[in-house]
A and B are shown apart, each in its own frame.
Chain A
């Protein structure tokens, strides 16, 4: 009886082992494993899929030329649905599959959750979109880099622009209660109050995805605000802006990088005219950005989406670092990233000690004639 039991056990174990190892059995050592993580399904998929496309474009080009130092790059694409708990699974999966560098994650919350896993495995991570301050500024994650400036640089820009440039004093600060929008709005509120000249007359969060925002718009009107600073993404921004136009409000609308997206202008249409949005420094004249957009159009027959430039830049920077360093060792890669400038769609960049891109700052844009134009 005992013997039988153990035999069964061994058989079961063998079956389990086979089942577990079958898919991962092919382990070619002569490729560089490039992880891509972000939301590729669910409600935030539109923020994650463009960076997959960007990475595909860059990596296909590199592979077509024979790879880096003879090694082809293999993409491992994993979905994290922007959820912290799934992101840790995603990260563990990528690490155990032996990725050497990771592009992602997209959402701040998911990135914060996943970073300790990558840090322990000493894997370079570069995000095109996670802006929450502690990722770089706290110094906790030496393996983290990003091609977008942190929130800390963004909210003062908005506040300063409203108060000092436009000379408005009564400010309403609105956010979308999200992990991106709320800290931004809080930063802007603080900046306005610290500046001394302006006054925050309203500070509130709205429910993303709600059917209409007429009540909050009435409240903005009632508060007598001269400018609205909005922390959040473009779908809510365009709804608020349209509603403000419908209610004949003349209040200025100033928002963040989540709104400085061509989709905002497409969706809000003529209501978008005159809206201010902070965005990464002007890249419209950047040849590489234009070329990248053309590539995207040719390959996917559509316009690139959010964070495409940043993701393209991150991929380019990482590929360049691997090539120059000749390995995927974290220290070697860091050295290259920090010392050598590389030409990308977001400008000619390298990275500082903490992992933020040098030369990626923010400037203020205004929608004029259906385009974002830099405000001087």
Chain B
């Protein structure tokens, strides 16, 4: 395309956006005082801004095309990202893990308690993401009500702590277990549903749990919530706020490691393969003799279990919970973590959680433009990397003639 043509196109697009944003950006009315304010300057900003963004995108696209052209010879082999290459190589992987672990361990000593606190939140979402990844990424069941299980865990701890003074460690397995039972309860009625019907039912389930918590005041104290929930202790020791934050941080590091380990083993297990088969083709999967019901139910309950565990941690971390924390938007964010990171990919989910949770915190500098930027980034990421930040490598087996006889 010639520069002139591109210029015309850019001009046209910016005119289109000026038209598009005209009523909302330019006119501001005060219906009481009956005053109209025409903010023509906004129209100008939009026009110029769109024009610049358009050219930036064109330039980036141009460069990308050029690099693709020069790479065509090498392109015969499937290109792998650096991270995949590192994971594939055990030695490099160990070094990488070692570095990450070391950084994670010394992190609280180099940062303020706020940073540690935010990082703890991010780690919680890593585990949540990994849990949902079992359901959505591996088994391919779209769950929009994941937050319900998170709420179950949180309320289990809050209520047991409030009424019976049970400690964090006692409730941790109870919360996880109870959430898993709820997972099965949800799983049963939706076994027959597919795809987006499943999505809306799970969404409804999440809303039902929240509404019950909101309305059944005798049980859950309603919207006022439960305050003064005990922070986790360490063999009966109580902590001050600062050390409790650091303690929770290390706890979460431990949880993340355990979760990664288990999920990783699961993925390679018989069950994990059954999930992937289920995701790819239900009918073929059944034909291969996999019990569809059982496989789905296990996926739901295992996913819910992690949410329940993190729910307990959440209640212990904030020391106050009310139903407002468990809205649909929360489910959407956890889902976004899984999809953004790369469905089915463990490393991807970790990255997704860190990006999505840390991003709004560090975007605070933009103050009121924060959520605007967040939405835009979500769209942009999907448009430019629809398979996620770090996509899952499909397990492939190559048939090698020379060795074919040795394959067991």
Q: Do chains A and B touch in the complex (CB under 8 A)?
A: yes
A-to-B contact residues, CB < 8 Å: 5, 8-9, 12-13, 16-17, 20, 23-24, 40-42, 45, 77-79, 82-85, 88-89, 92-93, 95-97, 108-109, 112-113, 116-117, 120-121, 132, 134, 140, 177-179, 182-183, 186, 205, 266, 302
SS of B interface (majority): helix
B-to-A contact residues, CB < 8 Å: 30-32, 95, 98-99, 102-103, 106-107, 110-115, 117-118, 121, 214-215, 217, 222-225, 227-228, 240-241, 245, 314, 317-322, 324-325, 361, 364-365, 367-368, 370-371
Which residue of B99, B106, B364, B371 contacts A8 across the interface (Cβ within 8 Å)?
A: B99
Query: Could you list 6 further interchain pairs (A-B, Cβ under 8 angstroms) beyond the known A5-B99, A20-B115, A179-B223?
Result: A13-B102, A84-B320, A112-B320, A182-B217, A182-B224, A183-B224
Judge whether A97 and B114 touch: CB under 8 Å: yes
Across the interface, name the chain A residue whose C-beta is closest to B231.
Answer: A116
**25 examples of A-B residue contacts, CB within 8 angstroms:** A8-B99, A9-B99, A13-B106, A16-B110, A16-B111, A20-B110, A20-B112, A20-B115, A40-B368, A41-B370, A82-B324, A85-B314, A89-B118, A89-B121, A92-B113, A96-B114, A97-B114, A112-B320, A116-B228, A132-B224, A134-B227, A177-B214, A182-B223, A266-B32, A302-B30
CB distance from B157 to the nearest CB of A (A): 14
A89–B360 CA distance with the chains assembled, in angstroms: 12
Q: Chain B contacts of A186 at CB under 8 A?
A: 217
A44–B370 CA distance with the chains assembled, in angstroms: 15
Judge whether B227 and A89 touch: CB under 8 Å: no
A336–B381 CA distance with the chains assembled, in angstroms: 53
Max count, chain B CB within 10 A of own CB: residue among A78, A85, A132: A85
Q: Chain A contacts of B215 at CB under 8 A?
A: 177, 205
Judge whether A113 and B319 touch: CB under 8 Å: yes
Judge whether A179 and B324 touch: CB under 8 Å: yes
Q: Chain A contacts of B364 at CB under 8 A?
A: 78-79
A321–B153 CA distance with the chains assembled, in angstroms: 44
Across the interface, name the chain A residue whose C-beta is closest to B327.
Answer: A83
Q: Chain B contacts of A41 at CB under 8 A?
A: 368, 370-371
Judge whether B367 and A112 touch: CB under 8 Å: no
Q: Chain B contacts of A83 at CB under 8 A?
A: 324-325
Q: Chain B contacts of A13 at CB under 8 A?
A: 102-103, 106, 110
CB distance from A120 to the nearest CB of B (A): 4
Judge whether A85 and B114 touch: CB under 8 Å: no
Q: Chain A contacts of B217 at CB under 8 A?
A: 182, 186
Top 5 A-B pairs, shortest CB-CB distance:
A96-B112, A113-B320, A96-B114, A93-B114, A179-B223
Q: Chain B contacts of A88 at CB under 8 A?
A: 117, 317-320
Judge whether A77 and B367 touch: CB under 8 Å: yes
Which residue of B31, B225, B370, B371 contacts A112 across the interface (Cβ within 8 Å)?
A: B225
CB distance from A101 to the nearest CB of B (A): 18
Which residue of B98, B107, B111, B324 contacts A5 across the interface (Cβ within 8 Å)?
A: B98
Q: Chain A contacts of B110 at CB under 8 A?
A: 13, 16-17, 20
